[in-house]
Every structure is written in structure tokens, then in C-alpha cells.
Structure 1
Amino acid sequence: MSINAKELPLEKVFTPDYRFFIPSFQRPYIWQPENIQQLVDDLAGAAKTPGTPYFLGSLILVRSGRDNRFDVIDGQQRLVSLAIIIAALRDLERDHEWMRLLDALIVEPGDKLRGIRNEPRLTLRERDAAFFREYVQEGNLEALFDLGEEDWTTTAQRNITRNTKRVYDELSNMSEDERRTFASYLVNEVTLVIVTTDDLDSAHRIFDVMNMRGLPLTPSDVFKARATSGLKPVELDAYAQRWDDVMDPLGDDSPASERFFSYLHLIATHKPDSDKLIEDFLTDVMQPYLDNGTMTTFIDQVLAPYAMAWLVITRPSDTVLPDEVKARLESLNDYPSHEWKPVAMWALVHSFRNLGAPDISPFASRGTRASRASTTARTLGAHDSQRLNEILAALERITGVDTLNRTAPFRRRGHAAAAIRDLDKGYPVRMIRALSISSDDRAGALVRLHGEMQGDDDLIRLLLIRANDQAAETHLSRPRKLSALPIMPVAFDPKSAFAASGWTQETHDYWMYRLGNMALAQGSEDQLDKLTDYAGRRDRMLMRADSRRFPLTEQLKHFNECTPEMLRHRQEETIRLIADRWEIRYDENHTDLTSQDIDELAGHGRIARPVHSSRRVTIKQVVEAGLLIPGEKLVWDRPRKGERWFATVTEDGRFRLDDGSTHASPTAAAKAAAGGKSAGGLSVWRRTSDNRNLADIWKQFRQQAE
């Protein structure tokens, strides 16, 4: 048995030295948009400090035969996600040399002289390999964006599509220089430890040791060792036990421990920590207590109250705190970001004098009566409840707007540090700039509320929860499984009763991914998949009482038909409710911003319009831009099968096949031509006049639009 391990930057990983294969026994690609979003955010933040490497963990590989072929035992999710990020960078790039260099990272360009074939560096499981190669690795992102939900045959393909859209949208918000800085950092300073062995059993043993048995020291372990070194012998046993009593309830999850101490560092110093958390915390936070011989003060008055505050914001519903405080914290926990937590921790510690004191717990015991809960809350030393509620309300507004505007994590951390600095100075909440929403951020949030939200399922659900809470004027309890479901049928059938009621493909596509077309319902996201009419979908959503508790869902019972006017009304009402919740509805002149259209809100160029760069481009849009002409002829040749199909561009922005059928998207036309089988869509049709691939034409349109 031979085992080898070495740390390499990505430029040395994505080379002919490694041909990665995902074995059939591995699970599929399961990362969700929020997972890959977090990776992009982390890398973008790290790229702000070039020269500091970013370690992305280890890959465990088994050599499989010759030609540098390796089966991936651990690391599939990261490899696929990295390939998606590089593919998006390549597609957004306009310089051919940059495109060539990025392309070479995910597809071996081949070398006839050296006998190297042109092939992808990563091959997925058999069910998804062709899909990933055709659409992502070979650069057919336009064709990928043209796919609908009916075109995915596996969950992995859905995840690949959604994650690619999310990454493309995120990177398209960067400037060209920012993307190139990001790409250079990704290739040169992001590292992986490559562990290779010659047999599968050895690989599984390595995986077991690295992931199950290995128990590396957490930051808490390191800090405890330093803290006890500064204690007097008479204090040592009692305060070593006190440290464990404080930290054990937080659990032994290393990332969570790191985040807690990172935020404690921010609270104490008013500055985010660098990538050297242990060094920074020891120097900036603990060393003064060690120098003064007051380590017991640090444990009792800093570590204990803030550790308890961390527990409270993690499980607010289990506490005896006032209902308004619990509701605010539960709402904050809905958001995917965490940068609000240090401010909330500060607010809790400065609102309850005895938080973290021995034998006093903010958590309710089972069977606790309301009277005892009230007594316990008083025992915590509650004071200045008005300020606490003002801080939490401001935090929820800021976090909501930042989430919608996709504010970068490093900016959110900077705002948190500034807010705590001003709170320590005693500033009133209304005077703290970092807890206020700027006019640009307010306008940007409202603009985005009006726009498409394709691929942002979690954001849509979160926004609908906020709107329904506001409509109900209370914090609504939620079923364990809650989904945001489209009211209209997902696929548009021109022969359906839905189409006969006056809908067009264009109007359907416009409303499909906007808030007005979404409603909260108990159950899974696929519960309406087989229902193709509005009445059936409405009745299914209203069938359960847990769905009807949401006012915007219950409203559907008053509408027998789904019309554009109905969705427009729902859109406007939903936006008003969210704007009221976040107090962004009115400007300084008390003008109702929710009544303005997008151009007015955007201030004629001051705020970007809501552009989801990966949104599906329609044939009609391309025709209106003059890039396709009605009457033009298109061809799809399949010489190996001896097949050829033709399509004609129609006046109303559709493709008409020779059998007379018309289709609203290239993918739908290709699927119909191929007898219902999944086809490449944009990547297969060519214009007969110049043999130009439609994917190139669609990309030209997207670049012009941006």
C-alpha cells in the first residue's frame, strides 16, 4: 500500500497530472445554491487580502489504472463546485486569452504530439457525466439557462443548473477587474491537500481517520490552555471547571466554535479578525487579562455572558425572554448570514445583567409556569428593554436589506464592528449609522423586490414569511416543512385551458419567478408538479390548515381564476408588506416608494435594475433586439444518425417546426423535433445563413443587455 499527501494550489490540481472520476457508488452532487454561494462569498472575501492562502480541505483519491486516473472518494462536492465557478468565470470573460486559460483548468485542451486527448478533467457519475460535460465543462451555459425543470432527469442535474445560475449571477455583479482578481486568487492561492493511495480499502480507512477519528484542537481548547496558564494555583481547578461549564453547552463543532470566538473578538476590539483567529484573539483579547492577572474577570464577565448570549440567539424559542425579543431573534435566524449575531450578543449582554451567571439560566425548564418564567426573567437582571428591542428591530431591517442586496460578507462584518463601537460609546440606536439603511440600499432593495428571483427558492420563502408576518401583525408559527410554490403552472401549454384564459408565453414567463406568483404552503416543493391548472394548484395549497394560517396564501380562496391583474395585485401587496416590515417604504420626503416603477426607483442609473444574468432569454427578446429575423431558417443536423430538422423564426417570437408546431424556446423545439427526448436546445440549432450557433447569438444578446 502506497499513501502520498501533498498540498497544492488549484493551478497544480487541474492539470494532466490528475484525471478525476466520481465512482458510481458515490452519492450524487448535492450542494445547494446557498452552499456554493457561501464558497463564493468566502473566496471573494479572502481575495481581498492577496498573499494569504485559502485552504479548501483535502481530496482523498484512489489511483485507478494508468494515465493519472483517480477515483474521488472524498471531495466530489468541492471539485464540481470549483468547476462550476471556473466555467462561470470563463463564460463572463471577453478576453480570449483569459478564456483559454480558464477553459484549460476544467477541460484538458489536448496535445497530439504528447498523445493527450481533449477531455474533461473531472468526470461525474454515469447518470450526470454527459450533462455536466455538455453544459458546464464545454461552455454551453446559454443552453443550460434555457432548460426548464422538465428537462432535468436527476436531482444532481437540477443542483448543477441552479448552482451554475447562482454563481453566474453573483460573479456578473463584479466588475471585470474584480472577477480577474478573484480568478487569479482562486487559481494561485486556493489550496487542497491531495491524498492518494493505490487501493479502495486504504482510501476508506484514510477517510475514516480524517473525518471520524481525528479530533483536532478547537480554538476553545487553545484559549483554555492559555487562560489556565494565567490562573493562580488556588483558582486553577475551579476556573478550569468554570470554563468547561461555560463552553460545553456550545458543543464541539469546530466551525461554530471558531465563529463564536471570531465574533467575541469583534465585540472586544471593534474590528473583524483576520484569517489568524487564534493569534488575533490571544493577542488582542486575552493578553491584557493575562498581563494584569485578571483572567478570572475575563471568564466571568466576558466569556460566560457572551457564551450564554450565543446560546440564546441559537435557541430563542426555548428561553424565558419576552415574546417580542424571542420573535425578533427567531426572525433573524431565518437569514442565511450570521454577521448580525455579534450585535445581538452585545445587546443581550447589555440588557441582562446576570446573563451567564452561575445557577441562573435564561432557558425555561420543562413544565415551567408563566409566573415562574416571569420571575426567572427578572432574575436575569433585565433593564433597558426598549433599547434591546430597537437594536433587534434595526438588525432585522439591515439584515433583510443586505440579504436582498447581496451585500458582501466583509461589508456586513464591517457594519457590525462599527455598530458595536457606537453602541459602546452610548449612542442612541437611531443615531448609529451602521444600523441605518441608506437611501441607495433602500432603493436597491425595492428594485430587487420587483424583479425575477429564479433559483432563489430560499430567498423567496424568506420574503414571503416576512410579508405574511407583517400581514398577520404577529410572528406566525411555521410547519416543519414549508415551501414557496408557484401559483401558475410551471410549464406553459398553449393548448391548455390556462392559455385559453388569455395568458401568453411571454406573460407567463414574466410572472413565473416573481413574488406575486408565489405562495407559502405546508409540504414539499414538488407537491404541485402534476397539477397543470390554477384551480387544482390553489385547492391543494389550501387543503391544509397549516397553509391557510398565512394570509397571502389564504387570499387565494377568493380568486377563481389566475389572471395577470391578480398577480400584479399580489406583487404590489407583498412588496408593500415587506417594505413596511423593514421600514423602507417611504423616503425622507415621505414619498411612498412602493408606488414608483423600477426606473423611478433606480434613479435613472443610480441603482442597478434587477438583472438576473442567468435568467432565460426568450426568442422574442432576441428577435426584438434584431439578432434573429422573422422568417429566418434554422437547422439541426445529426449526421451520425442521418437526421436533419428545420425550424423557422416566427413573427411572435417562436420556432415553427416543419410539422407546423410552434415552440417558445429553442430547448422545447429541439425536444419536440427529437420526439420528446431531451436535447441540447441552443447548442444544436444553427442559423442556415451563416451557420452561427444559437448559443453564440443568445450570449451576444445577454452581453448587450448587461
Structure 2
Amino acid sequence: MSAVKLQANDCPISKIFSNDFIFTIPLYQRPYAWTTEQAGELLEDLVTALGDSDDKIDDINPYFLGNIVLIKGDKPDAQVVDGQQRLTTLTVLLAALRASVSKENIHILTKYLYQEDDFDPNDNVYRLTVRERDAQFFKEYIQDEGGIDKLKNLHTAKLSDSRKNFKENTLLFVKRLQSFTNSQLLRLTQFILKRCFLVVVSTPDIDSAYRIFSVINNRGMDLSHADILKAEIIGKISLEQQEKYSAKWEEMEERLGRDIFKSLFSHIRMIHVKSKPRESILKEFLNDIKPINTPQQLIDKILIPYAEAFYEINNLAYHSDILGEEVNQKFRWLHLIDNSDWIPPAILYLSRNYNNPELLLRFFTDLDRLASGLMIQRNNINERIERYGKLLYSIEIGEDLYVPDSPLQLKPEEQARIIKILNDDLYLIRKIRLYVLLRLDAALSEGKASYNFCNISVEHVLPQNPTSDSMWVQSFASQEERDKYVHRMGNLVLLSSSKNAQAQNYDFDLKKQKYFTTKSGICNFALTTQVLMEKEWTPEVINKRQQQLIHQLKEVWRLQ
């Protein structure tokens, strides 16, 4: 892979707004959002940095305005990945300065807003073009000479938020600059153009620009690969249909939520590529998925169906007159898995078989079994990705998913390994112990349990460190015997609230009364209620309970 060309230079504002750059704010960027608070702060910072001395402009300390990140090759054309708020506000400020200086100086400032065509004003080249929806408004009322006079008469109530910000920031600048003399205005203009700098980071590669932005933007990443993909995909659609498809896109994003919507693209990538990412999600999506579909197909046939399936999986919202709740219960358990690698096959299968609840229940029962098994075995991410990649391929080509050698099914050796792990010291496997006991409790309560408690903890019946004078030392005569049983499943229970640590060592009868029940004297878990029924707690009781619980889990996950 060839090295990416990267350039970083500090440029005075006079160079920023020159023929060296023709800035465009891409479609994926958010609308202009700076309010009078940020704009006013920028102007006051500039006035303070200039000071009131009579020093020559060239002798004043330079003032840095931060970074901008661009996608730019050798030509002036530059897409703004980061810095649109500053560039736009600086453009507004230059326009306000132009509206405030004497007439003979107006033309000097105009050249920093656009390059005039000698014959036709329609062919003027604007230094900055904002998002397409606001571009004409910005040119007419901000960048063009005389535009601000027209802007003053616009009714703010009828403007979008971005246009309202354009207007209010412009008028704020104009009002503040009224207190300056013409010579002070020219001095401020010279200072901004000559002694104010932006660090320009540019690369011709969209993926590199996005990664650079992610690293240097310490305010938190507002831009995502989903935003860039939106521009890449919708930008290829005819202008007549762009608004329609932008609305579809934004509806998907709003329905899922911005963060979940971003993750959808990595799941779609996995559905298509079926392997661990080799490059960034953005680059692989653009290289492997986008080219094989028209933009409209990509949105209508892939994004929308997958987004809908993802929404229903995330929100337990599958609806069917039969088996709907049963399918949603499988989603509920899958969300307790400690990774999200199961989601791509879930999305693919649900989107393909939405109207067949019987098929869905069978599939998600086995996907739950597979995901639980991989989690209990502590399979690493590479092993999980390989397994789910094979499953995606099987779904795609329509293979029988219920034959023994299907990637959806646990192999005999995997089942044996799972049983061995469950039969060992379960408490010591922190990442699975609560999950396993919740599955047990649900099975014992026949699905009637509801787990809405803020804190659910796994606790021991036989304590880890009993006092030497307790009945525990009598019932479990040696340290070796206590070590054998203390962390096994048969000795574990669930509690729904934190308890006094000293109470862990209570003798069995007192522990049942004060530790394993709530203040009202009840227990919230079937698994724990089992223990309350016992009259004593001995190695024999733990052994018997261990066998019963293992048998229960074998039924839950069809383990042999």
C-alpha cells in the first residue's frame, strides 16, 4: 500500500482566502452552528490580540486560530473535513468588515470573499461554498457586495437555524465594528489577513483526512464515517432526488440514534466482506460495497432494510401476532452477550425472513446458543469473526443451518468444553458467571422472571473466608474441601442489592434470613429461593444442586 501524501502548513488568512484554495463544505457536514456567543468571542479575541499599540502590523505577535483538515490535491479545490465553523465565521467577519469600511476600501476586501470574473458576475469564484442547502443564501446575503444590507431586512423567524446564525453573527459583527474608526477597521483587517494563521492539514485521501481529524480534534469526534458515506453516496444521486434520499438517510439516523447508526455500517461491512477489517470501515465500505450498487439501491435495498432490522433487534421491537414476544426474548438474551459480533448475522437473517416468525424463532434460538457457547468458551475475536463470517456465507447462499456441521451449530467437542467449564469454578470466570446464573434463573422461573434491578450480584452460600468458630468449618471440615466447593455453580446465588460484607459469613440459617431475602422477607430469584428451601448446606447438597443446575443448562442450550 503506497504512503499517503500529507501536508501541514501554517497559512496566514490572506493565503487561506486566496486563489490557492477553493473551499467546499461537503454534504456530510452539519449545518453552520456557531451562535453569537462563539462568534463574539472570536472577534473579541482578535481585537485583544491586536491590542491598541502603534506597532507596525508585521511586528505584532502572530495569532493562531487552530487547525483545519482538508481533502485536497494539487489543485485549489479543497473539501473541509474539519474547520467549517471557523472558516465560515471568518468569511462572515470579512464580509462585516467590508460593510463597515469606507467605500474606497470595499473592493480590497471583496477579493478575499470571491474572485471576480471580468465579464460575468455569475462566473465569480467564491473562496468558500457552504453546504448546498445554504450556499445560494450565503453568497447572496453575506459574500456578495451589498448583501448585508439586504440581510438586515430578512425576518429571522422564517429562517432555518443555520441561516439564522449567519444573520445574527453578521449583524453582531457589524454592530461591534461601528465603534471602530475607519483607520482602526483597516488596522484590524490587516492584522487578521497578515498576522492571523490557520494550520492547514491536507491529504488527497478521504480516509486519511478523517483519521487525521479524529486524532487532532480533542473536542470529541462530531464527524463520523457515516457522515462521509452520506456525502459519497447521496452526492452521486441526481440533484432532483438528493433531497428525497437525504430525508430517507436522516430518518434512519434519527430512528436508530447517531451512535447506533454509525455502528450499522461496520455491521453491513461484515455482512458483505465476512472477515475481520483489513482497513478502515470507511475505506472498505467505499471500495467493497458502494461500487456494486447504485446509490439508490444502496439506500433502498441495503441500508433501509438493515437499519429496520437493526432497530428491531436493539429495541426488542419485532412484531408478529404469533411468536413475536418469543423472538424478542431471544434478542434480550443476545444483548447480554459481551460482544456484538453476533449482530451482522442477526440483521441479515431478520431482514430476509421478517414475515416468517417460526423460522426466526428457530434461528435466533440457535444463534443465542452459539453466541452463549462462544462467550462461555472465551473464544477470541478472531475466532468469533471467522465463525460468524462462515455463518453469514451460509445464510447468504441458503444452506441448511440445522445440520450438525453448520456454523450455526455447536460441535460436540465445543459442547463438551462448555459443560466442563460450567462444572468447574464458575465464580472465578468473572465475565460469564452472572450471565450463566441469569440464564439458569430464567429457566427455573419458566421465563416469568424480570431482571430490572440496578445491581445484581453473584454471591456464595458457603462463604469464601468463614471464621474459624463458624458452623461452616464444621460442615466443611478441611480447607481443601471448602476450596473444592466454594466457587462452583452449586454454591452460588443471585442477589438484587448490596449487602453488608460481614453478613456473607453468617451461619446458614441466619444467612438465609438476613442475607438472601429482601427487607420484606422475599427473594427475587428462583435460583436463590432454591437455597432457602434447604435445611442445611453441606458438600452433598452442593453436589446435588450442581448436577441439577448443569442438567438445567444442558436443556437450555441443548448440550450433550
Partner of 1:244: 250
Q: 1:494 deviation in Å?
A: 2.5
Corresponding residue number in structure 2 for 1:314? 314
Aligned residues: 340
Q: Does 2:233 match 1:227?
A: yes
TM-superposition CA deviations, 1:140-185 (whole Å, max 9, x none): xxxxxxxxxxxxxxxxxxxxxxxxxxxxxxxxxxxxxxxxxxxxxx
Note if 1:405 corresponds to 2:377: yes
Partner of 1:124: none
Tell me, in whole angstroms, the C-alpha distance in 2 between the residues paired with 1:526 and 1:252. 41
2:251 is aligned with what amino acid? Answer: D
Counterpart-to-counterpart distance in 2, 1:313 and 1:485: 31
The 3 A distance-change label for structure 1 pair 327 and 213 is same
Q: What is the rounded CA distance, in whole Å, between the counterparts of 1:503 and 1:340 in structure 2?
A: 46
SS class of match (1:520): strand
SS in 1 for 2:326: helix
| Root mean square deviation, CA, Å | 2.4
- C-alpha distance in 1 between matches for 2:478 and 2:470: 11
For residue 519 of structure 1, the aligned residue among 469, 472, 493 is 493
Distance 2:483 2:338 in 1: 28
Checking the alignment, whether the CA contact within 8 Å between 1:479 and 1:522 is kept in structure 2 is no
- For the pair 1:265 / 2:269, whether they are aligned, the reply is yes
Partner Cα separation in structure 2 for residue 475 and residue 543 of structure 1 = 19
Aligned letter for 2:434? Answer: R
Conserved 8 A contact 1:478-1:546 = no
Residue 397 (structure 2) aligned to one of 397, 402, 425: 425
CA distance in 2, matches of 1:211, 1:527: 45
Q: Matches of 1:545 and 1:426 in 2, distance apart? A: 54
Cα pair distance change 1:396/1:262, threshold 3 Å: same
CA contact 1:265–1:281 (8 Å) conserved in 2: yes
Aligned to 2:221: 215
Hey, what does 1:465 align to over in structure 2? 438
The whole-number CA distance in structure 2 between the counterparts of 1:547 and 1:404 is 31
Deviations 1:569-621 (A, max 9, x none): 1111111111111101x3xxxxxxxxxxxxxxxxxxxxxxxxxxxxxxxxxxx
Distance 1:312 1:547, change over 3 A: farther
Find the residue that maps to 1:395 and give its secondary structure: helix
1:286 to 277, 283, 290: 290
What SS is found at the alignment partner of 2:493?
strand
Where does residue 437 of structure 1 map in the other structure? 410
Match status 1:564 vs 2:545: no
CA contact (8 A) 1:485 1:525 kept: no
1:574 paired residue among 543, 549, 555: 549
Give me the whole-angstrom Cα distance separating, in 2, the residues matched to 1:287 and 1:527: 60
Query: Cα gap change, 1:271/1:502 in structure 2, threshold over 3 Å: closer, same or farther?
Result: closer
3-state secondary structure, aligned to 1:519: strand
TM superposition shift of 1:258: 5.2
- Residue identity opposite 1:430 in structure 2: Y
Deviations 1:326-359 (A, max 9, x none): 111101111112111111111211122xxxxxxx
Alpha-carbon distance in 1 for matches of 2:283, 2:389: 19
Q: 1:579 to 1:211 in 2, by over 3 A?
A: farther
**C-alpha offsets along residues 172-199 of structure 1, whole Å, 9 cap, x if unaligned?**
xxxxxxxxxxxxxxxxxxxxxxxxxxxx
Q: Is the 8 A contact 2:233 2:295 kept in 1?
A: yes
Q: Secondary structure at the match of 2:426?
A: coil
Closer, same or farther in 2 for the Cα pair 1:529/1:223, shift >3 Å?
farther
What is the aligned partner in structure 1 of residue 461 from structure 2? 487
In 1, Cα distance between equivalents of 2:389 and 2:521: 40
Deviation at 1:458, TM superposition (A): 4.3
Residues 492, 508 of structure 1: 8 Å contact kept: no
Contact 1:457 1:484 in 2 (8 A): no
Distance 2:500 2:431 in 1: 15
Greater C-alpha radius of gyration: 2
Per-residue deviation, 1:525 = 6.6
SS of residue matched to 1:485: strand
Say if 1:547 and 1:553, in contact at 8 Å, map to a contact too: no
Paired AA for residue 459 in structure 1: I
In 2 relative to 1, CA 575–224 (structure 1 residues): closer, same or farther, beyond 3 Å? same
Shift in Å, 1:220: 0.5
**Residues 334 and 462, structure 1, Cα contact 8 Å, conserved in 2:** yes
Displacement after TM superposition at 1:508 (Å): 1.3
Q: Work out which of the residue numbers 341, 347, 350 in structure 2 matches 1:348.
A: 350
What are the superposed Cα offsets for residues 69-95 of structure 1, whole Å, 9 maximum, x if unpaired? xxxxxxxxxxxxxxxxxxxxxxxxxxx
Distance 1:422 1:325 in 2: 21
Counterpart amino acid of residue 473 in structure 1? E
Give the AA of the match of 1:558.
Answer: M
CA shift, 1:565, in A, is: 0.9
C-alpha contact (below 8 Å) 2:318/2:327 kept by paired residues: no
1:72-83 equivalences under 5 Å are none
Contact preservation (8 Å) 1:271, 1:414: yes
Q: Secondary structure at the match of 1:429?
A: coil
Which residue matches 1:553? 528
> Following TM superposition, by how much is the alpha carbon of 1:567 offset from its aligned partner in structure 2, in angstroms?
1.0
Cα displacement string for residues 40-88 of structure 1 (whole angstroms, at most 9, x for unaligned residues): xxxxxxxxxxxxxxxxxxxxxxxxxxxxxxxxxxxxxxxxxxxxxxxxx
Whether the 8 Å CA contact 2:252–2:261 is kept in 1: the answer is: no
Q: Is the 8 A contact 1:483 1:525 kept in 2?
A: no
Superposed displacement of residue 526, structure 1: 5.6
Rate the CA distance shift 1:549–1:529 in 2: closer, same or farther, 3 A.
closer
Task: Give, in whole Å, the separation in 1 of the partners of 2:334 and 2:400.
Answer: 21
Q: Post-superposition shift, 1:568?
A: 1.0
Taking the aligned partners of 1:242 and 1:493, their CA distance within structure 2 comes to 66
Match of 2:113 in 1: none
Alignment of 1:535 with 2:539, yes or no, is no
Give the CA deviation at 1:216. 4.3
Change (3 A) 1:331 1:219: same
Q: State the alpha-carbon separation in 2 of the partners of residues 442 and 545 from structure 1.
A: 41
* 1:640-680 deviation digits (Å, cap 9, x = unpaired): xxxxxxxxxxxxxxxxxxxxxxxxxxxxxxxxxxxxxxxxx
Aligned CA distance change for structure 1 residues 517 and 527 (closer, same or farther; 3 Å): same
**1:285: how far off?**
0.7
| Change over 3 Å in CA distance of 1:263–1:525 after alignment to 2 | farther
1:392 to 329, 339, 364: 364
Native 8 Å contact 1:262 1:272 kept in 2: no
Q: Give the deviation of 1:275 after TM superposition.
A: 3.6
Contact 1:522 1:544 in 2 (8 A): no
Structure 1 residue 454, shift from structure 2 partner: 4.3
CA distance in 1, matches of 2:502, 2:325: 35
Change (3 A) 1:479 1:228: closer
Q: 1:530 to 1:473 in 2, by over 3 A?
A: closer
The alignment partner of 2:398 has SS state of coil
TM-score, length-scaled by structure 2: 0.57
Does the 8 Å CA contact 1:484/1:525 hold for their aligned counterparts?
A: no
2:471 to 485, 497, 522: 497
* Structure 2, gaps ≥5 residues long: 1-214
Separation in 1 of the partners of 2:477 and 2:277?
54
Flag the 1:579–1:530 CA change in 2: closer, same or farther, 3 A. Answer: closer
Q: 1:305 corresponds to which residue?
A: 305
Q: Counterparts of 2:350 and 2:438 in 1: how far apart (Å)?
A: 25
Q: Residue type of the partner of 2:357?
A: S
